[in-house]
Amino acid sequence: MHPVRFELTAADGAARTGVAHTARGSYQTPCFMPVGTRGAIKYLSADDYERLGAEIVLGNTYHLMLRPGAETVAHFGGVGNFAAWGGLTLTDSGGFQVFSLEPKVDDDGVTFKSTYDGSSHRFTPEIAVHTQQLLGADIQMVLDVCAPLPSSDDVIRQALQRTSAWAVRSKTAHQRPDQALFGIVQGGVSETMRAESAQRTVDVGFDGYGIGGLSVGETRQEMLPALAAALAHLPADRPRYLMGVGDPASLVEAVGLGVDQFDCVMQTRIGRHGTAMTSEGKLHVKNAKFALSDEPLDATCTCDVCTRHSRGYIRHLFQVGEPTASRLLSLHNIAWTLQLMASMRTAIAAGTFDSLRSRVVAVWG
């Protein structure tokens, strides 16, 4: 039996709601997974995740294997126990961080230098699986090759072929029956190569499927056809995960194509720098015009920040360099995104998803 069983609960066109059942618990889809890079979402704790209503949080394999080390995390019973987080966790393969460092890549794996101390490390599909088994997340991702965009067809083809070969090796290396393993589809913005990569990944057979290598510089108009080409070949009874995508317009467009789960650092990154996500678009709370504003960040948002604090107060915190400002906006942006995902689930069940999609794209597109 697969560690992840996907139960469809409603559909509106290609958009769908469901429940993904893992060995240790379930999560509703479509869902957004906040990113806890080093074992914590920046400025937040496990208590915050619970209050926000997050069901699954992403951890970063690259950072955790370098500090404090996968063996240390395993000593504490896995990344969830280490962080005292009772919900579910997913670990990325570390591939995106490795490739952003422009390492030496060969058919067997990659060699890269640590951003912490410059030490050299070797990473292969087997090492990525073993490391994530020590980290103990409920879902782990295979090591893939993420080609930068734009890239030549030859570069994208080589990345696709290595990703496919590494998928086979990852599945062979995977030994934990209580931990799901997701494959990853590559192929740049080529619909042909996306379809091929999806078919080859499905042929290996995984518990769920990630679509990687998108939202790396291409336009949304380039991304969506490539995404649709991949989704057409992914099985309906497995979760579909669009990796690294979190802007609201892309979220609703991707859900409309049949994507189930997402992750992104955008929510906390822009929050730390003074930008709030709202139903009217981005709000730059540092702006002087908000100095005397007693309005919440978003009158339609039900998060603790919006029900308690004014724009004027939060602007003041940024003006004086108070770290609480970044914390409050990070809390709000994650809560706002989780509320957006909940509204999508409601709209799909009601058969009104296209109306919601149009409204969000009108503001955020």
Active site (catalytic) residues: 92, 263
CA dist 279 and 207 (Å) reads 35
CB environment 192-214: b (16+ within 10 A), e (fewer): ebbbbbbebbbebebbbbbbbbb
Residues with Cβ within 8 Å of 199's Cβ and at least 6 positions away in sequence, in order, are 233
Helix (H) or strand (E) holding 361: helix 353-364
Best CA proximity match to 341, nearest among 215, 248, 241 = 248
Best CA proximity match to 183, nearest among 197, 175, 349, 335 = 197
Q: In the numeric block, which tokens belong to residue 166?
A: 């590494």
CA distances in angstroms from 143 to 37, 107, 146, 239, 302, listed in the order given: 17, 12, 10, 18, 38
Best CA proximity match to 18, nearest among 323, 316, 341, 272 = 341
CA distances in angstroms from 16 to 23, 116, 132, 276, 326, listed in the order given: 22, 42, 29, 28, 34
Cis upstream peptide for 150 (omega within 30°) = yes
